């Protein structure tokens, strides 16, 4: 049976495959070690992000605009890893390189949706830091919990609509050359290279999406931190300047971990070797969701204090429970 079949689409014949072959990691040696690494990353991602979400949810002191955005980032990290990593593990462990056309588009939608939300949430966090440092007296007026909830909701809807448009236009592509995707998942770019018809509208969406989801957020974040740096230079006392800078360190680390590998890989374009690109991009999508909760737990004073409070509270509960047990045993 041929992997390709034809369907009519607005007076044109569109050739769609029954399945795609994901060739990523096929030519990369020692993938069994990468499989173990992915399993470890996935476990730490689930535990770390679930823990950060639990801490923020249970501590009412953290129900602030900043931590609403952090909670949103943890949700998108957890969902994004769940959408991508099990598929990677399945490909590496069971050599399941074949994926049906419908499953491929579904996977593409969810992976790009969650990654887009991660990028836009980092942008929202930079906006929060910008207002907090550049307009400290008006911060509580400008950035409220309600406004941050509205912003994060809009981010999810906007990212979802952008990815839906990209996936819809994939259906206008005719695949009559090959069904082999040179990537580690159903990646938008490599799929466009398989087209054998005029896919100009889809190509426009394909090139526009990284601009909106990657390059514009990077420019926005860069602009906010230039403004933050100028505001910090105006602070006379070094101690106050250092205190303000500390509130930005966690976010800056997250920005570097998330954007630098992706931006470097995109900037190199065709100059980067295919297997190197696959490994770089897979690490760029797997590592940030694992590192984000670790960075926020270790670098953010409010999260650290909240964890200490939870520990002390649990310790008191254990002591009280043990005393009650002793009283019951004496009776």
pLDDT score for 321: 66
pTM of this structure: 0.86
Share of the chain above pLDDT 70, in %: 88
Span 214-225, mean pLDDT?
A: 93
Nearest to 66 by CA among 159, 156, 147, 153: 147
Q: Rounded to whole angstroms, how far apart are CA atoms 103 and 83?
A: 12
pLDDT band at 324 (very low <50, low <70, confident <90, very high): low
pLDDT tens, residue by residue, 245-259: 887 888 898 899 899
The answer to whether residue 77 scores a pLDDT higher than 80 is: yes
Q: What is the pLDDT of residues 87-134, one digit of tens each?
A: 888 887 777 788 999 999 999 999 999 999 999 999 999 999 999 999
Helices (H), 171-237: 188-192, 200-210, 216-233
Q: Which pLDDT band holds residue 7 (cuts at 50, 70, 90)?
A: very low
Ranked by mean pLDDT, the top range of 137-151, 186-200, 252-266, 311-325 is 137-151
Question: Phi-psi bin for 2: left (phi > 0), alpha (psi -120 to 50), beta?
Answer: beta
Q: What average pLDDT score do residues 305-328 get?
A: 68
Please compute the mean of the pLDDT values over residues 51-67 and round it to a whole number. 90
Give bridge partners of residue 8 from the DSSP assignment: 13
The answer to whether residue 6 scores a pLDDT higher than 60 is no
């Amino acid at each position: 049976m041929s992997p390709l079949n034809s369907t009519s689409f607005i007076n044109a014949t569109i050739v769609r495959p029954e399945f795609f072959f994901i060739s990523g990691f096929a030519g990369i040696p020692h993938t069994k070690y990468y499989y173990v690494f992915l399993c470890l990353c996935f476990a730490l991602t689930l535990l770390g992000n679930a823990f950060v979400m639990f801490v923020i949810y249970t501590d009412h002191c953290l129900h602030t605009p900043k931590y609403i955005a952090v909670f949103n980032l943890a949700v998108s990290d957890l969902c994004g890893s769940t959408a991508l990593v099990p598929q990677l593990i399945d490909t590496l462990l069971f050599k399941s390189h074949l994926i049906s056309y419908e499953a491929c588009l579904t996977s593409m939608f969810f992976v790009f949706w969650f990654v887009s939300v991660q990028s836009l949430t980092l942008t929202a966090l930079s906006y929060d830091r910008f207002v907090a440092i550049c307009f400290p007296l008006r911060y509580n007026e400008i950035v409220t919990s309600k406004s941050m909830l509205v912003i994060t909701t809009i981010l999810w809807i906007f990212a979802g609509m952008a990815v839906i448009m990209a996936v819809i236009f994939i259906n206008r592509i005719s695949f009559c050359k090959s069904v082999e995707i040179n990537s580690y998942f159903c990646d938008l770019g490599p799929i466009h290279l398989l087209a054998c018809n005029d896919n100009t509208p889809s190509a426009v969406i394909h090139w526009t999406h990284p601009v909106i989801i990657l390059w514009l957020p990077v420019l926005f974040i860069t602009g906010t931190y230039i403004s933050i740096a100028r505001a910090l230079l105006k602070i006379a006392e070094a101690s106050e300047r250092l205190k303000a800078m500390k509130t930005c360190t966690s976010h800056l680390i997250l920005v570097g971990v998330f954007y630098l590998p992706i931006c470097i890989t995109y900037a190199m374009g065709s100059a980067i070797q295919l297997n190197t690109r696959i490994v770089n991009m897979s690490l760029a999508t797997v590592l940030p969701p694992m590192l984000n909760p670790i960075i926020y737990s270790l670098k953010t004073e409010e999260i650290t204090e909240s964890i200490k409070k939870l520990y002390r509270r649990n310790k008191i509960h254990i002591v009280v429970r043990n005393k009650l047990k002793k009283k019951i045993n004496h009776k």
